[in-house]
Amino acid sequence: RSIKIPIERHTFAYLCYRCNKPGHFIKDCPETTPKRSSFFQPCSSTTSDSEFPTIHCRCGGGLCEIRVAASRDNPGRKYYRCPGKYDKHCGYFKWCDKLRAD
């Protein structure tokens, strides 16, 4: 969204709602900071980790990815997740240390 302000007769410029500068909309604002996942971030190796065994996802989508939680309650804790993308993602999730304990 933006605000129209007259510049000259029959000419309008749009002001960005974030920075109040003309020439772009809020979605294109150069002052926007990149979004960061608040809970989970992929670790450097998403398919295997020598610390934990590789497992196949229960949906048949391949090897589970191993990721690292960045949540307040579990920072740095590794977990398995389904490797499927978008509609092929079954939602499988298990903490790596729980699998080893089972």
pLDDT at position 73 is 92
pLDDT, mean of residues 81-101: 85
Same domain, residue pair 46 and 28: no
Asked if 62 and 87 sit in the same domain, the reply is yes
Mean pLDDT of 25-53: 61
Q: Are residues 45 and 22 in the same domain?
A: no
Instruction: Report CA-CA distances (Å) from 55 to 1, 13, 41, 80, 92.
Output: 47, 56, 19, 8, 11
Q: Is there a single domain that holds both residue 23 and residue 58?
A: no
Domain count for the chain: 2
User: How crowded is the C-beta side of 45, counted as CA atoms within 13 Å?
Assistant: 10
Mean pLDDT along residues 78-94: 89
Over residues 42-54, mean pLDDT: 60
Domain containing 12 equals 1-33
Q: What is the pLDDT of residues 69-82, one digit of tens each?
A: 988 899 999 999 99
